[in-house]
Amino acid sequence: MKVFYIFNISLFMKKWIFLLILIPCVLASPNVYKFGEDYWFENENTIKTDTGWVYNIEDLMDYTVEGEVMGVRFYKEDKAPFGLVDVALAWGDILKPEIKENLEVTMEYRYCSYYYTCENSEISFYYLRTHMSNNHLIPASEDIFNKIIKIKKGDYIKISGTLVYIKGEKRENNKIERMEWGPSSTTLEDEGDKACEIILVKSLEFVTQEPSISETPNPLKNFEEFYKNVWKSFVIIFIVVFLILYIPSKLLSRKKEKVSPRYDIAANMIEYYTKKGYRVLKYNFNDPFLKIAISKNEKIYLATIDLKTGKISYRLIR
């Protein structure tokens, strides 16, 4: 009895295509609690959550800051679901190419670290410290939330809102749990713990930054950026094509390798014995052997073929 293997390549491809579409969509959206679903504003100074937390917002001062995004880190925290992101900003001479290329910014848990490696620098440590800030952003509306989750490194943004101090409380089963976040820093001259700005964001703009007069255009750098983007696109396209075309075809070929050669050998041997005047009675596989019963001149022989070595042995049955 012959057994045929059917490989549904179209179904396999559909699964891969679905995964290839789904994965970028998942990666594109940061994993954060959702405004209006997980938390909401009861009034201007009160935030509530679906887990029973109630937060009071104390306004400290109005605040506006703008600069280039040097780093972004999103959070999903049960006790502060509204504090979904930290954004490190820099402005002024720090954005000059010769300064920025020697500056490394790392986003740690709720603070940022920066390393400046140029020895003969025209800017001081004090200038660096007062022209950079790490900002904990709290959306004041769903529209602001939708803008915040789109922030990425390299954007130039302008934020307006209020520096705040937040106190939360949760009552459950005669137990009271409390938390505090802040107070926000209200000066750019501090450093260390509690030096970050906690901003209730009421306005967020993505600004097209005009190059300063002191910046000299660098065609080579522009070409390098273009080349990087082209190369990344090529790699992504190559991976997609590889997954869609190569893997299914490889699996299909493996199925064929496992099944087809055995029946090809049987067919060839049957044809061989038929031409020699034998009548083929039956055959079967018992890996690695192919056994064929043949008869001629009222005698029956059992031919045993070793599929690995190609060796053939005969035994007279009758």
What CATH code is carried by the domain that includes residue 59? 2.40.50.140
Tokens encoding 58: 């104390």
Using a 10 angstrom Cβ sphere, with 0-12 exposed, 13-18 middle and 19 or more buried, the burial of residue 148 is buried
- The domain boundary residue, chosen from 166, 191, 216: 216
* Average pLDDT of span 110-114: 86
Structure confidence at residue 228 (pLDDT)? 62
CB 169 within 8 A of CB 114: no
For the chain, the average pLDDT equals 80
Same domain, 13 and 98: no
- The domain boundary residue, chosen from 161, 186, 216: 216
Secondary structure element (H or E) that encloses residue 99, with its range: helix 97-100
Strand partners, 113: 106
CA distance 280 to 270: 7
pLDDT band at 3 (very low <50, low <70, confident <90, very high): very low
The model's pLDDT over 158-190, given as tens digits with 9 standing for 90+, comes to 999 999 999 999 998 889 999 999 999 999 888
Number of domains in the chain: 2
Same domain, 251 and 266: yes
CA distance 284 to 212: 83
Strand partners, 205: 158
263 CB neighbour count, 10 Å cutoff: 14
211 CB neighbour count, 10 Å cutoff: 11
Structure confidence at residue 248 (pLDDT)? 66
CA distance 125 to 163: 25
Same domain, 208 and 281: no
Q: Which amino acid is at 312?
A: I
Q: Which amino acid is at 286?
A: N
Given a cut of 80, is residue 112 above it in pLDDT? yes
Same domain, 36 and 24: no
Token look-up 């290839």 returns: 20
Same domain, 113 and 47: yes
- The domain boundary residue, chosen from 148, 183, 216: 216
Same domain, 293 and 243: yes
pLDDT band at 227 (very low <50, low <70, confident <90, very high): low
Cα dihedral 14/15/19/22 (nearest 10): 60
Region class of 42: left (phi > 0), else alpha (psi between -120 and 50), else beta: alpha
**What residues contact residue 246 under an 8 Å CB cut-off, 6+ apart?**
none
CA distance 300 to 279: 9
Same domain, 91 and 6: no
Same domain, 266 and 139: no
CB 94 within 8 A of CB 123: yes
Same domain, 204 and 180: yes
Instruction: Name the residue range of residue 211's domain.
Output: 32-216
CA distance 68 to 132: 10
Same domain, 40 and 158: yes
Same domain, 58 and 24: no
CA distance 196 to 160: 16
Same domain, 18 and 81: no
